[in-house]
Structure 1
Amino acid sequence: CDLMMFRKENGKVNVTSLVERVSRFTVVMRNEDRHSEPIMEALIAGLAPLPAEARQSITFDRGTEFSAWRRLKDGIGAASWFCDPQAPWQKGTVENTNGRLRKHLPRSTEPTALTNRYLRSICQSLNSTPRKCLGYRTPAEVFESNLMALRNRLE
């Protein structure tokens, strides 16, 4: 999980990017500011519909926007992990995804104009693009396949 910031003159609105490590399935959410509690509540609301086995842990960088990480354990049972200071390679998947997102959301984007509908369309595009690292399957296909296999094991 990571935050994507925009130019300061565009205000405090930012975007949370959340990427499932195995499938590269991406979820993007708009935040009104960098306060940790609302960000954690949005993560809880967004991840709660998934089976508990599909939301076991989240890795963050050491930004203050993730300081309320304990809420995740209480809210959805997800463990929180943190990268070492100044070690972005420890969360390479989300950094790569942020690079892909920047094609749609450059720093010059007016973040207050971002709608949930537009952010969902960006996720739809990313999640429906075949990836070499996934054997030319899409993140959505791999994520769904993994969820189905998980459900079959639980039954």
Structure 2
Amino acid sequence: QTKACVATFIERKSRFYIILPMVDRSSHSMEHAIRTLYSSFPSGTFQTMTTDRGKEFSCHERIQDSLGIPMYFADPYSSWQRGSNENANGLLREFFPKGTNFGMINKTELDYALSRINNRPRKCLAWKTAYEVFSEEVLRLI
């Protein structure tokens, strides 16, 4: 039996963290999550993607071809190449331990965790929140 999971994305400049539920770890589910993310924000919000080498990213060529987003892959065992995402995933684990079946987590619980992560002031953002910095950047695109 496959457990529901989440796709996590982080915008590097603002450290804005986005979580999208997935029914499983298939490339079909990941492609759906990426397309949902891409269509939820103004054009130009996301210009590249760096992923790990999981099988769920086997959809990378379709994504690159249809959305025009270059996708890069971190080297094996080099999680530091995706440090912002790894750090944010660690923050998420404060709410949901590793192995959590996200099919049992409701949207309110997920939204609460995401809000707590994105609304904490960060030294690297001059004590602004990821939400504030991301919002300022996206408003420049419209």
Q: Does 1:57 align with 2:78?
A: no
Q: Distance in 2 between matches of 1:143 and 1:120?
A: 17
Runs of 4+ in 1 over 3 A off after TM superposition: none
Q: Deviations over 1:104-143 (max 9, x none)?
A: 1102534321123322221111111111111100001000
Aligned residue in 2 for 1:128 = 119
Aligned residue in 2 for 1:78 = 69
> Over the residues paired in the alignment, what is the CA RMSD in angstroms?
1.7
Q: Distance in 2 between matches of 1:74 and 1:116?
A: 32
Q: Does 1:67 align with 2:95?
A: no
Q: Does 1:14 align with 2:5?
A: yes
Q: Does 1:32 align with 2:23?
A: yes
Q: Distance in 1 between matches of 2:42 and 2:103?
A: 32
Residue 108 and residue 51 in structure 1: after superposition, are their counterparts in 2 closer, same or farther (change >3 A)? closer
Equivalent positions of 1:79-98 (< 5 A) are 79-98=70-89
Q: Which amino acid aligns with 2:118?
A: N
Match of residue 101, structure 1, among 76, 92, 102? 92
Structure 1-normalised TM-score? Answer: 0.83
How far apart are 1:42 and its partner, in Å? 1.7
Task: Flag structure 2 segments of 5+ consecutive residues without an equivalent.
Answer: none
| 2:119 and 2:129 in contact (8 A); partners too | yes
Residue 76 and residue 132 in structure 1: after superposition, are their counterparts in 2 closer, same or farther (change >3 A)? same
Identity level (%):
35
Q: Distance in 2 between matches of 1:56 and 1:12?
A: 30
Q: How many residues align?
A: 142
Q: Deviations over 1:75-127 (max 9, x none)?
A: 43321110111111100000000110000110253432112332222111111
| 2:51 and 2:74 in contact (8 A); partners too | yes
Q: Which amino acid aligns with 1:145?
A: E
Q: Distance in 1 between matches of 2:28 and 2:11?
A: 22
